[in-house]
Amino acid sequence: MFSCLLLPPSSSSTANACLEAAAKNNSPVMIQVSNGGGAFMVGKTVKDPNAAAAGSVALAYHVRAVAKYYGIPVVLHSDHCAKKLLPWFDGMLQADKDYFKMFGEPLFSSHMLDLSEEPDEENIAICVKYFKEMAPMKIWLEMEIGITGGEEDGVNNENVDPEKLYTTPQQVYAVYEALSKIGPMFSIAAAFGNVHGVYKPGNVKLSPERLLTHQEYTKEKIGSELDRPIFLVMHGGSGSTDDEIKLAVDNGVIKMNIDTDTQWAYWNGLRQFEAEKREYLQGQIGNPDGPDKPNKKYYDPRVWIRKAEESMVERVGESMERLGSVGQYPKSSEPGSQQCIVSKKKGNVMGGMVAGIKKIF
């Protein structure tokens, strides 16, 4: 049994690092966009209300364009979407529909709705509404019930009652009962003490053993022959111990999110490079090798960004090892290809864009 690692890149560089780590470790990988990451991708000065959706779609197209060159399975996912962020979700879903018309599959593989701040009944009802739109395109739905602590994309649960960090078996079954009537492609982020970010040991009490209780409760309710009839998700994976991760996977977690640790790894690669080459990074000309020596090969962004990528690749590989996904998918030897432009017979994406521009002018 293994779980898939989910990584939230905020640029083409971090996305490529995720892909490189997966190829290096012969592992499938999930690459996600967040509302904040989408807004960053499109440019922080853009204040258009659709900016986050546009940036998320842009990152998805980047991954679509290069993923096959890495030769490993990639799942494109969008992360936490609170009720106030539903316009962002709608924008991505429209992009899925447009892509589906051209290619027969959606742009994104899956989306997450995080309506855990809302009453359970409203949470489930909104998930049902969207799942009915997504199911015909075979888009996976992840939903959250119960609260993940910490702060993520505008949802702040840093001071929440600790008891609310643990979802009950009854809540999980209520979700299963409603969504299973539409289709099987859904997963549940059930809280078991999870917290976004990294905290000192002892400050967070994870209880992955509770996940087995959810499985047993639903199994009895539906009379399933499966020991783990529910697909579960683990949020707040950064800082978790190997034993906690292993128990969560054993109890049905199919995906673990890790963000904070990979952010640090990316920065740490740059930090170490700057410390090592500091005397070569104080000006365009002049370094310990001579007053007229150029420093371009040190301050070229491709150099220090690559050091950040290499550090992140190593850290991602560590998580893949812990989740048991290493070696699960031998790298494909088939030639790479992009997934963004179709032939003229089917309709050319770039041609359509040019036609649209001509209409404007």
Distance CA 357, CA 170 (A): 53
- Phi, psi for residue 82 in degrees, rounded to 5: -75, 170
- Phi, psi for residue 194 in degrees, rounded to 5: -65, 145
DSSP state of 192: B
Which residue numbers are catalytic?
A: 79
Burial class (CB in 10 A: 0-12, 13-18, 19+), 26: middle
Q: Which two tokens stand for residue 113?
A: 């709705």
Longest CA span, the chain: 78
Q: Angle at CA 50, nearest 5°, toward 360 and 64?
A: 85
Neighbour count for residue 61 (Cβ, 10 Å): 18
Distance CA 220, CA 253 (A): 19
Distance CA 217, CA 223 (A): 10
Distance CA 194, CA 198 (A): 11
144, 189 contact by CB (below 8 A) = yes
**Residue with tokens 């290499």, as numbered in its chain:** 310
SS3 294: strand
Nearest to 83 by CA among 140, 125, 136, 135: 125
Distance CA 133, CA 139 (A): 9
SS3 115: coil
- Phi, psi for residue 236 in degrees, rounded to 5: 70, 45
Nearest to 217 by CA among 232, 202, 205, 229: 229
